[in-house]
Amino acid sequence: MRTTLSRPGVDGLDAAAGALRAWQDEGVPWQLHPGDIGWFRRFGAEATAAAVRTWSRDGRILAVGLLDGPRLLRLTTAPDARRDEELARVLAEDLGDPGRGVLPEGTAYAEVPADALLHDALTGNGWGTDESWTPLRRDLAEPVGDPGVRVEVAGPEHAEVRAAVQRAAFDNSSFTPDRWHAMAAGPLYTDARCLVARDARGEAVAVVTVWSAGPGRPGLLEPMGVAREHRGHGYGRAITVAAAGALRRMGASSAVVSTPSSNTAAVATYRSAGFEQQPETRDRRRDP
Ligand SMILES: CC(C)(COP(=O)(O)OP(=O)(O)OC[C@H]1O[C@@H](n2cnc3c(N)ncnc32)[C@H](O)[C@@H]1OP(=O)(O)O)[C@@H](O)C(=O)NCCC(=O)NCCS
């Protein structure tokens, strides 16, 4: 049977996330994580469903993509299907043809796991490369030390402050308490925690959201940031250490994150918090 593309809809999101969860494993190169869908869920269930694509064969999901912006598809496949020729060909066709409803006409971008045969198919179809990303990983076999600052798990009563620090950390952030509640209402948030770090005066200075993919699997940090006026005091390091500790308590085998290589402050912060740099990855880019 041929691999076919579908839009899972709201009812199919659990299956797509379940596939992503099962594919998270130590030793698998950087890839889309169920937490990425969990974080996207701040825009609501309908918007999330509209942004997800799945590819299946014989009733099994082989690839999941998230349109993390109208022109960027972040895609991963079952680890045992990375070298599958038919899947690579179908994916390349679907990503290349605006009529398939995956990527629009004009310039478009794709994140693809480093070991996927799809890279060759995209190159063959004229795709180039784009921005460099640096994945980082902290092993969680050993206990994680104390972050050294006050850190609390943000519940519904902290939605306001969680959202405010997000906006103070990220340019152009549209995060609001309503979006926090939309995210927390999603099924994936069961495996997530938002953490807020406070300075000695009790002011909220840094935030992170961590996403477990289940015990024994890598857990994701997405996003992490420090309010502009509080940078350079070790809060980025502290909230990242706290994130690793939270993931360890949730049973994760490692904590993973990826940031643009150009974001030298973020790379330095993750390294400072005990994360090790992994081989750089490159987004793929198609121009008209
Ligand atoms: C990245 C960010 C979290 C750093 O926060 P911070 O509180 O200033 O970082 P810290 O003070 O804890 O510094 C941690 C380490 O990074 C280094 N660092 C911080 N900013 C740096 C910069 N601009 N250039 C180089 N190194 C930097 C520090 O020297 C420190 O290293 P050390 O422990 O080896 O001395 C903050 O700049 C931020 O929120 N940026 C916007 C959001 C973002 O990019 N998030 C990460 C993307 S996933």
Q: What is the pLDDT of residues 77-95, one digit of tens each?
A: 999 999 999 999 999 999 9
Q: Which residue range(s) make up the domain with 103?
A: 4-134
- Mean pLDDT, range 11-33, rounded to an integer: 97
Give per-residue pLDDT as tens, 210-227: 999 999 999 999 999 999
Q: How far apart are CA 61 and CA 20, in angstroms?
A: 9
74 and 121 part of one domain? yes
Band of residue 1 on the pLDDT scale cut at 50, 70, 90? confident
Lookup: tokens for 239: 């909230």
Examine the fold and report which residue of 73, 103, 134 is the final residue of a domain before the chain moves on: 134
Examine the fold and report which residue of 113, 134, 155 is the final residue of a domain before the chain moves on: 134
Identify whether 155 is part of a domain: yes
60 and 170 part of one domain? no
Each residue of 166-189: b (16+ CB within 10 Å) or e? bebbeeeeebbeebbebbbebebb
Ligand 1: which residues within 6 Å by Cβ?
169-170, 223-226, 231-237, 259, 263-266, 268-269, 272
The predicted pLDDT at position 109 comes to 98
128 and 198 part of one domain? no
Identify whether 225 is part of a domain: yes
Examine the fold and report which residue of 98, 119, 134 is the final residue of a domain before the chain moves on: 134
* Overall number of domains in the chain: 2
Identify whether 286 is part of a domain: no
10 and 86 part of one domain? yes
Lookup: tokens for 23: 């594919």
112 and 153 part of one domain? no
* Residue minimizing CA distance to atom 10 of ligand 1: 234
Identify whether 171 is part of a domain: yes
Q: Report H helices in the chain.
A: 9-23, 34-40, 45-51, 85-96, 118-124, 159-169, 177-185, 235-249, 264-272
Give per-residue pLDDT as tens, 122-177: 999 999 999 999 999 999 999 999 999 999 999 999 999 999 999 999 999 999 99
268 and 152 part of one domain? yes
The predicted pLDDT at position 152 comes to 98
Give per-residue pLDDT as tens, 93-108: 999 999 999 999 999 9
- Mean pLDDT, range 61-76, rounded to an integer: 97
**Residues ≥6 apart with Cβ < 8 Å to 45:** 10, 13, 186
Q: Which atom in ligand 1 lies closest to the alpha carbon of residue 231? A: 8
Phi, then psi, of 88 in degrees rounded to 5: -60, -40
What CATH number is attached to the domain comprising 40? 3.40.630.30
Phi, then psi, of 28 in degrees rounded to 5: -90, 130
- Mean pLDDT, range 40-63, rounded to an integer: 98
- Mean pLDDT, range 234-246, rounded to an integer: 98
Cis status of the peptide bond prior to 223, with omega within 30 of 0: yes
Taking the centre of ligand 1 as the mean of its atom positions, its distance from the CA of residue 268, in whole angstroms, is 6
**If you average pLDDT over every residue of the chain, what do you get?**
98
What is the percent of the chain with per-residue pLDDT over 70, rounded to a whole number?
Answer: 100
Identify whether 287 is part of a domain: no
* Residue minimizing CA distance to atom 43 of ligand 1: 225
The predicted pLDDT at position 48 comes to 98
Taking the centre of ligand 1 as the mean of its atom positions, its distance from the CA of residue 50, in whole angstroms, is 34
259 and 157 part of one domain? yes
